[in-house]
Amino acid sequence: MTSKVSPIPGLVLRRLAIGTLTLIVVSAVIFWAVELLPGDLATEVLGQAATPETIAAFKTQFGLNDPALTRYFGWLSAAVQGDFGLSLATRRPVADLIGDRAFNTFFLAGYAALIAVPVAIVLGLIAALHRASLLDRWISSATLAVISFPEFFVAYILILVFAVQLGWFPSLASVTPTMPLGERLYVSFLPALTMVMIVTAHMMRMTRAAIVNLLALPYIEMAELKGMKRWWVIAIHALPNAVAPIVTVIALNLAYLIVGVVLVEVVFVYPGLGQLLVDSVAKRDMPVVQAACLIFAATYILLNLLADVIAILSNPRLMHPR
């Protein structure tokens, strides 16, 4: 009898191809959205007092006289190599401008994820174990109440309570590249807490729903009838089978942490990629805007792709085909 070949490599390669194609489409949308903005870019950057000669030299320097399609393919091929061009505002390489900012954004998102993921899973398990109880209703209501408010509102409430009234944390998250890790964690705590409160509800509810569905299955009831403790049954039998939906929602929320950090960074004046994006939009610094949007899009697509791959790998029917 010949054994069947696992379809996992083919599925993963298809997901990779779809992710790459999606990123190319997103890059085109980003570029053409910037192209469709009203007004002359050179005049907006240089100001109304700029002479025609200065405007012409500016357009020649940055290739603005070339056809849009030529500029798009040139920008895309250079971006693949890590070259995002020059900033229109500072004349510096865009890669230099976004380096530290991107690190700050990913640090803040990772900081929030390290808090949010275990908290959400534990709350989901507690709610599932005490389903339909007062504790379950309280956890669900509290998380839903927090997620009902926009990020900036939650951020301002946290600033009012913990920065203004209690004075425990600074209201502005001013981090520097040379700042020690402990001080960076302290300064960044309020923006991280804001993001934790926003994303915890989604992950908690998915964890609860997945565990509740599994607890009703016959093999879980059989394990409990054999005298196994409920927590042990969940840890050994239920939780591994709930990996796919839980990991999927965690990946989606991690993607949201990266992309949705813009408002939080603006409120706390956090020197991240989101704050740079907002400042660059105000200055009409389009190369920086395009680079920041492309990084956000690539991160979102990559995390969704990772969630798909983990969901595929956690499927026993694919891992052990008959």
Cα→Cα distances 120→204, 249, 271, Å: 4, 11, 27
Q: What is the pLDDT of residue 271?
A: 87
What pLDDT is attached to residue 4?
Answer: 57
What is the spatial distance between Cα 259 and Cα 274, in angstroms, rounded to a whole number? 8
Determine what percent of the chain is predicted with pLDDT higher than 90.
Answer: 0
If asked whether residues 161 and 54 sit together in one domain, one would say no
In the predicted model, what is the mean pLDDT of the chain?
Answer: 79
pLDDT at 6 over 70: no
Beta bridge partners of 86: 93
Which residue would you say has higher pLDDT here, 134 or 90? 134
CATH code for position 152: 1.10.3720.10
How many whole angstroms separate alpha carbon 318 and alpha carbon 322? 9
Print the SS3 string covering the chain.
CCCCCCCHHHHHHHHHHHHHHHHHHHHHHHHHHHHCCCCCHHHHHHCCCCCHHHHHHHHHHCCCCCCHHHHHHHHHHHHHCCCCCECCCCCCEHHHHHHHHHHHHHHHHHHHHHHHHHHHHHHHHHHHHCCCCHHHHHHHHHHHHHHCCCHHHHHHHHHHHHHHHCCCCCCCCCCCCCCCHHHHHHHCHHHHHHHHHHHHHHHHHHHHHHHHHHHCCHHHHHHHHCCCCHHHHHHHHHHHHCHHHHHHHHHHHHHHHHHCHHHHHHHHCCCCHHHHHHHHHHHCCHHHHHHHHHHHHHHHHHHHHHHHHHHHHCCHHHHCCC
> What are the pLDDT digits (tens) for 127-156?
887 777 888 888 888 888 877 777 788 888
- Structural domain contains residue 322: no
Choice between 184 and 151, residue whose per-residue pLDDT is larger: 184
| Statement to judge: residues 129 and 265 lie in one domain | yes
pLDDT value of residue 1? 45
Instruction: List Cβ neighbours of 226 (8 Å cut-off, separation of 6 or more).
Output: none
Whether the predicted pLDDT of 308 surpasses 60: yes
Q: What is the mean pLDDT of residues 47-75?
A: 74
For the ranges 23-32, 64-73, 211-220, the one whose mean pLDDT is highest: 23-32
Q: Are residues 129 and 215 in the same domain?
A: yes
Q: Which of 52-61, 96-105, 230-239 has the highest mean pLDDT?
A: 96-105
User: Is the sign of the CA dihedral 215, 318, 9, 76 positive or negative?
Assistant: negative
Which range has the top average pLDDT, 151-155, 252-256, 282-286, 310-314?
151-155
- 37 plus 179 within the same structural domain: no
Whether 79 and 27 have beta carbons less than 8 Å apart is answered as yes
Higher pLDDT, 119 or 308: 119
What does the buried/exposed string (b/e) look like for 93-109 if buried means 16 or more CB atoms within 10 Å of the residue's CB? ebbebbebbbebbbbbb
Is 86 domain-assigned?
no
Nearest residue to 113 via CA among 252, 211, 238, 19:
252
Could you report the per-residue pLDDT of 94-108, keeping only the tens digit for each?
Answer: 888 888 888 888 888
Across the range 202-214, mean pLDDT stands at: 79
Containing structural domain, residue 63: 8-80
Query: What is the pTM for the complete model shown?
Result: 0.78
- Adjacent-strand bridge partners of 93: 86
Structure-token match 């398990």, residue found:
125
- Clarify whether residues 157 and 233 are in a common domain: yes
Please report the pLDDT score of residue 46 as a whole number.
Answer: 67
Q: Do 143 and 19 sit in the same domain of this protein?
A: no
Same domain, 99 and 65: no
Alpha carbon distance 207, 160 (integer Å): 32
Domain membership of residue 49 (yes or no) is yes
More confident residue, 217 or 114: 114
> Which residue, among 108, 193, 107, 202, has the nearest Cα to 158 in the 3D structure?
193
pLDDT score recorded for residue 52 = 74
Residue 40 pLDDT: 61
Last residue in a domain, options 27, 46, 80 = 80
24-38, 158-172, 233-247, 257-271: least confidently modelled range: 233-247
Q: Count of domains in the chain?
A: 2
In this prediction, residue 44 carries a pLDDT of 64
- My answer on whether 75 and 129 are in the same domain is no
Q: Which of 15, 264, 246, 29 has its CA nearest to residue 159?
A: 264
Range with lowest mean pLDDT among 75-89, 214-228, 264-278: 214-228
Whether 134 and 62 share a structural domain: no
Q: Considering only 63-72, 224-233, 247-256, which range has the smallest mean pLDDT?
A: 224-233
